[in-house]
């Protein structure tokens, strides 16, 4: 048997243990083999040595994370207990992690993960940036924050936000109202991001004066988009022709972020995503950058990461099965071809 007593210094025990010991209970759940008790600033671990040492290491990580980032979410504790190295994926709340913008409530908007910071840095050195990754990784929100910052700093004269009007398994034709009323709900994620960053009266003024424009991708045809920060969202639902059309709209003083999630393509089964081809043929063009985000960048509910990982695991298994079946079919065909 082993008994370890840890004294917590330099952090708020309530923030560390959680309200009603919610975070401490996660540690207990992760190490059911030992007894974990707390009293004031002290924590006692009792049980078999290998388990008390492992629990001690995890608890010390919790303390370290709280000291460095001045916050310790329940999700962060769960990630630590699952073995994730948050120092590799998450950024500390420090001055080195520069604020992009402040919300209407005065809260700083910063890159929360290493890959989100890569996205911010890529826009500083490239006019076109592809941000590709699963849902919940902050692609669109970070892109909108960068666009609003550019407008406020007068680096651009307007913001253009666009999406291809492809329904995720639904039909817009059955929705009531005119075209704008049909399209607006589909563009709601863009409105939500703007609502966080710009006061309602100011946003209404910007939209009335077309300083901020939100429109379906089809409305971009024939235009030249200059002196603008342009975001093409949900680009995985663009055809090759649509994406080429969009990219050739850019004027000499335009900056663009293209976001997409290649695991959520809503195009008809026989139509390929233009984002695949664009990433392939434009990857090495000077002035164009690609940033790939993954499940480690998810900033939504803790289950979103697990859902993404489960689907990726399933998709990988299906791909491997299809490859095996294709190889088996080719092997069966070889003798008959020789005859």
Torsion, Cα of 104, 150, 208, 168 (10° steps): -80
Produce one character per residue of 52-69: b if its CB has 16 or more CB atoms within 10 Å, e if not.
bebbbebbebbbebbeeb
pLDDT at 166: 60
Tell me the C-alpha distance between 289 and 270, whole Å. 29
Count of residues making up the chain: 339
pLDDT at 175: 47
CB 36 within 8 A of CB 44: yes
List, edge to edge, every strand of the sheet that includes 158-163. 212-216, 158-163, 228-232, 255-260, 128-132, 288-292
pLDDT at 205: 94
Residue pointed to by tokens 């697990």: 306
pLDDT at 319: 76
pLDDT at 321: 83
Q: CB-based contacts of 113: which residues, under 8 Å, 6+ apart?
A: 89, 90, 91, 137, 138, 293, 296, 297, 299
Q: Which pairing describes strands 108-110 and 255-260: parallel, antiparallel, or unpaired?
A: unpaired
CA 312 from chain centre, in angstroms, equals: 16
Tell me the C-alpha distance between 133 and 110, whole Å. 18
Q: Which pairing describes strands 288-292 and 128-132: parallel, antiparallel, or unpaired?
A: parallel
Tokens of 118: 């890569």
Long-range contacts of range 77-80, CB-CB < 8 Å, 24 or more positions apart? 77/18, 77/23, 77/26, 77/27, 78/26, 78/302, 79/302
pLDDT at 96: 52
Residue pointed to by tokens 């990754």: 133
Tell me the C-alpha distance between 260 and 248, whole Å. 18
| pLDDT tens by residue, the chain, 339 residues | 788 888 888 888 888 888 888 888 998 999 999 899 888 888 899 999 888 998 898 888 888 888 877 777 787 788 777 766 655 556 555 545 578 888 888 888 888 888 888 999 999 999 999 999 988 888 999 999 999 999 999 999 999 998 887 643 334 454 455 555 656 666 778 888 899 999 999 999 998 999 999 888 888 888 888 999 999 999 999 989 999 999 999 999 999 999 999 888 877 767 788 998 999 999 889 999 999 988 777 765 556 667 767 777 887 788 788 778 878 877 777 665 444
pLDDT at 94: 53
Tell me the C-alpha distance between 73 and 62, whole Å. 10
Give the number of other Cβ atoms within 10 Å of residue 270's Cβ. Answer: 5
For residue 195, what are the CA distances in angstroms to 17, 148, 192, 210?
34, 11, 5, 16
In the three-class reduction of DSSP (H, G, I as helix; E, B as strand; rest coil), residue 255 is classed as strand
Closest CA to 297 of 58, 54, 57, 118: 118
Element (H, E) at 233: none
Tokens of 241: 């022709």
In the three-class reduction of DSSP (H, G, I as helix; E, B as strand; rest coil), residue 225 is classed as strand
Question: Strand (E) positions, 87-144?
Answer: 99-102, 108-110, 128-132
């Amino acid at each position: 048997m082993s008994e370890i007593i840890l004294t917590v210094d330099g952090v708020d025990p309530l923030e560390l243990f959680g309200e009603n010991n919610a975070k401490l209970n996660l540690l207990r759940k992760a190490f059911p083999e030992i007894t974990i008790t707390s009293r004031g600033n002290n924590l006692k671990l009792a049980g078999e040595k290998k388990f008390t040492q492992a629990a001690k290491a995890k608890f010390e990580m919790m303390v370290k994370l709280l000291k460095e980032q001045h916050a310790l979410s329940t999700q962060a504790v769960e990630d630590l207990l699952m073995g994730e190295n948050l120092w590799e994926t998450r950024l500390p709340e420090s001055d080195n992690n520069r604020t992009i913008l402040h919300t209407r409530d005065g809260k700083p908007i910063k890159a929360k993960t290493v890959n989100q910071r890569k996205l911010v840095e890529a826009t500083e050195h490239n006019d076109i940036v592809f941000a590709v990754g699963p849902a919940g990784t902050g692609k669109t929100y970070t892109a909108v924050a960068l666009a609003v910052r550019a407008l406020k700093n007068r680096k651009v004269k307007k913001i253009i936000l666009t999406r291809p009007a492809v329904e995720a398994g639904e039909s817009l034709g059955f929705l009531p109202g005119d075209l704008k009323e049909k399209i607006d709900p589909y563009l709601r994620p863009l409105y939500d991001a703007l609502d966080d960053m710009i006061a309602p009266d100011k946003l209404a003024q910007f939209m009335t004066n077309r300083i901020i424009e939100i429109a379906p991708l089809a409305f971009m045809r024939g235009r030249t988009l200059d002196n603008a920060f342009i975001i093409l969202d949900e680009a995985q639902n663009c055809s090759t022709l649509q994406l080429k059309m969009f990219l050739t709209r850019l004027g000499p003083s335009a900056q663009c972020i293209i976001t997409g999630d290649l695991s959520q393509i809503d195009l008809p089964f026989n139509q390929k995503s233009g984002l695949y081809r664009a990433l392939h043929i434009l990857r090495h063009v000077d002035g164009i950058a690609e940033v790939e985000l993954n499940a480690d960048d998810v900033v939504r509910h803790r289950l979103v990461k697990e859902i993404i990982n489960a689907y990726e695991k399933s998709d990988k298994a299906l791909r491997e099965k299809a490859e095996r079946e294709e190889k088996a079919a080719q092997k069966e065909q070889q003798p008959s071809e020789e005859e």
